[in-house]
Amino acid sequence: MADFRGGEAVWIERLDNLRNVIRQEVIRRQLSRHVTAGMTVLDVGCGQGTQAIELARAGCVVTGVEPSKELRLRCERSASSSGCAIELIDGAVDQLDEIMVGRHFDVVCAHGVLMYMPSMTGAITALSRRVALRGLLSVTFRNGHALAFRPAMRRDWAGALAAMEAKEYVNELGVAARSDRLENVETALVESGFEIESWYGVRVFNDAIAADMQVPEGEDLAAMLEAEDAAGRRDPYRWLASQLHVVARR
């Protein structure tokens, strides 16, 4: 079974690389089209707190749930140096019913978490129970429509052919993880009483770049982020993204 813990050290080491900077900024922009100041937000698997802190800065009242002690510590430190208050709780998706008894939120997020869950449907069901009536669920998952794209762009033809019909993959952290298709995620959401409001691609043009590529200076980065943001909102580009980002309403 996929377990993020095997990749945690590499995740931490690469938090500032270009791949992650693009991913975080594109998700932030996409979310900002749905979330407004004053909303209550639950970020499950908030990790080091990148999105949780951005949401708190935007005026949301944020609670983070995170099973890793090291990542909770990093989140706490970054929140306090940004002057943000975030409620942080030790826990995991399958513990939400116990640790969040009676609590519901305007927005529930789980970004970069579903690929480590044994069951996508089970995770969506558990997350959906924490969403207030008319509230939003925001999830990102490995795009199962386009697993062959990254190896192909790296000219790894054997890898691309093997990925054509695959459901699982070994991710950039070296962890065996799951991918999902949009229609299956939509079915799970509908069964939990949700309707997709918008869906986006996350990291289209830069998915093949190396893990050690660092952030370019100045305008290059701004233009790159604009292009990624535009592609993530449009067909056919978003279908080729590394992750899909679905925002659904209860």
- The site for ligand SAM (CB under 6 A) is made up of 4, 11, 44-47, 50-51, 66-68, 71, 92-93, 111-113, 116
Residue 136 phi, psi (nearest 5): -115, 145
Cβ proximity of 84 and 60 under 8 Å: no
- Give the residue with the Cβ less far from ligand SAM, 1 or 133: 1
d(C-alpha 97, C-alpha 92), whole Å: 10
CB of 168: closest distance to ligand SAM in angstroms? 16
Closer residue to ligand SAM in complex, CB, 68/128: 68
Q: Which of 63, 158 has the CB closer to ligand SAM? A: 63
**Smallest distance, Å, CB 236 to ligand SAM?**
25
Least Å distance between CB 177 and ligand SAM? 9
Residue 46 C-beta: closest distance to ligand SAM, Å? 5
**Which lies closer to ligand SAM via its Cβ, residue 12 or residue 132?**
12
- In the bound state with ligand SAM, the residue whose beta carbon lies nearer, of 67 and 159, is 67
Calculated CA dihedral for residues 43, 46, 50, 53, nearest 10 degrees: 50
> DSSP alpha helices (H): ranges in 42-198?
50-57, 69-81, 96-99, 120-128, 149-153, 157-163, 182-191
At 104 the three-state DSSP class reads coil
Query: Could you tell me the CA-to-CA distances from 28 to 111, 131, 188 in Å, in that order?
Result: 11, 20, 24
- Taking the C-alpha atoms of residue 109 and residue 124, their distance in angstroms, rounded to an integer, is 11
State the minimum distance, in angstroms, from the CB of residue 20 to ligand SAM. 7
